[in-house]
Copies of this chain bind each other. A is one copy, B any other.
């Protein structure tokens, strides 16, 4: 391995000078700088990243923890994060938090151990207390969670609000019997979406029975099975709100197989606006989440954190309803309850 010492010898200077040239620090005469660059090139020198990081106690990289590389939109999130971070001259390294609070914590430690300049943590399961502790000791931004005690350190979507809007819209369209397939109920996202569903119905004094709600696992197959269960329970519904598009896709197939006309007999609403949603038959109404904007805000805030700047408050990120033909007018179309 070619070290700085080799370069120094070749260029006839000391290590210190090579270091200065490498980092552009201090004053170096042009001729010696050229000599050093030449020596580097001739020897094919590559700085030892670990030694640099050890000496600096920084690694010029941003760490990102994701939840088991699944979830509806982590692809978009990773792509966007990578581009933004690379453009800033830093490197992105990604690691897995799997699906338990312990392993999420391990993942954060892994990145902290590598002296990431900042860490972006998409967390599902970590407790608020643990998060607050981490925030106090690490340059960390939390994604997908709202921490009332540290609002400037987290970005998240107004999931409940969006789900509320969905169901309220269905009610306006004349639906009063709205079923719901939730995501895994131990995740904050699924809970918030379910809460929005409940809120909308309760606000109109419509009954929410347990039979109308069933838990899915966010997968297409899970949505299919959940919908079959729902149907076999014999609960009547003219509209179905699925907590994500994948489950909506599975549910639509189950409905078709049960002989339901879509959307005439059952309207369906999804969540996440997956790329295929608009191309399904019928095109699926859903909620678009501004992932790019959210992750961008998180990264910008992380950079401020690194620089020690004061942290401005973050905007709220709200979903946008994409209305497509999977929703038809319901039986109360001529006399719908009005939005409050």
Contacts and interface: CB of A to CB of B under 8 A. Distances in A.
A322 interface: no
A79 B75 contact: no
Contact of A110 (B48, B78, B91): B91
Given A75-B69, A279-B249, A82 B96 contact: yes
Interface in A89-132: 91-96, 98, 109-110, 113-115
B82 A98 contact: yes
A78 B82 contact: no
A211 interface: no
B279 A253 contact: yes
A171 to B, nearest CB: 27
In this complex, the member of A246, A278, A280 whose beta carbon has the largest number of chain B beta carbons within 10 angstroms is A280
A246 B220 contact: no
A50 B253 CA distance: 52
A204 interface: no
A114 to B, nearest CB: 6
A275 B246 CA distance: 9
Given A50-B54, A70-B75, A92 B82 contact: no
B279 A49 contact: no
A93 B94 contact: yes
A94 B95 contact: yes
Contacts of A249: 276, 279-280
Counted per complex, copies of this chain come to 2
Interface residues of A, number: 45
A51 interface: yes
B219 A275 contact: yes
Contact of A69 (B59, B82, B220, B250): B82
Contacts of A46: 109, 113
Contacts of A246: 275-276
Contacts of A224: 279
Interface in A186-238: 219-221, 224
A53 interface: yes
A229 to B, nearest CB: 16
Interface in A33-91: 46, 48-51, 53-54, 59, 68-70, 74-75, 78-79, 82, 86, 91
Contacts of A221: 275, 279
Contacts of A250: 276, 279
Contacts of A110: 91
A117 B113 CA distance: 17
A281 interface: yes
Nearest to A95: B93
A333 interface: no
Contacts of A51: 54
Given A79-B96, A221-B279, 17 more contacts: A50-B50, A50-B53, A50-B54, A50-B113, A70-B75, A70-B79, A86-B96, A86-B98, A91-B110, A92-B95, A94-B95, A220-B276, A246-B276, A249-B279, A249-B280, A250-B279, A281-B281
